[in-house]
Amino acid sequence: MKTGKDPNQGEGDKVSARHYNREVRDFIADGKVDEAAREAARYVESEPRDADRAERKARKGPSSSKVSVDELVAKGRTVIDRVRPIVERVVDRVRAKLNRK
């Protein structure tokens, strides 16, 4: 049974939806639509390639959370490359302390 204070709202996040809808209504009521449209048009004219890439990406929708094996291996390598110097320093310190005793 759910309690009234449970932050997990299930599939439909009503709090976020209300917040978004309020922000959209305020944006329209404040008369910001025309200026935003002009700004978008200027951007499309000045950066057509980037705008086209962004539009294609937006049309695809959210990207999958699944990671390919190649991506996973590449990420693992970068983590190892970043952690290796730290581990080597710690090992050197431990060896130095053990050799002193």
| Tens digit of each residue's pLDDT (9 = 90 or more) over 10-52 | 667 888 889 999 999 999 999 999 999 999 999 999 999 999 9
pLDDT computed for residue 82 by the predictor: 87
Q: Name which residue leads in pLDDT, 74 or 35.
A: 35
Q: Tokens 């999958």 correspond to what residue? A: 64
Residue 56 in contact with residue 50, Cβ under 8 Å?
no
Chain CA centroid to CA 24, Å: 22
pLDDT computed for residue 1 by the predictor: 47
Q: Tokens 């962004």 correspond to what residue? A: 54
* Domain segments of the chain as ranges: 13-63, 64-101
Give CA–CA dist 19/56, Å, rounded.
27
Give CA–CA dist 90/95, Å, rounded.
9
User: Residue 101: is its pLDDT beyond 70?
Assistant: no
Give CA–CA dist 97/99, Å, rounded.
5
Q: Is 94 helix (H, G, I), strand (E, B) or coil?
A: helix
pLDDT computed for residue 60 by the predictor: 87
Q: Name which residue leads in pLDDT, 65 or 45.
A: 45
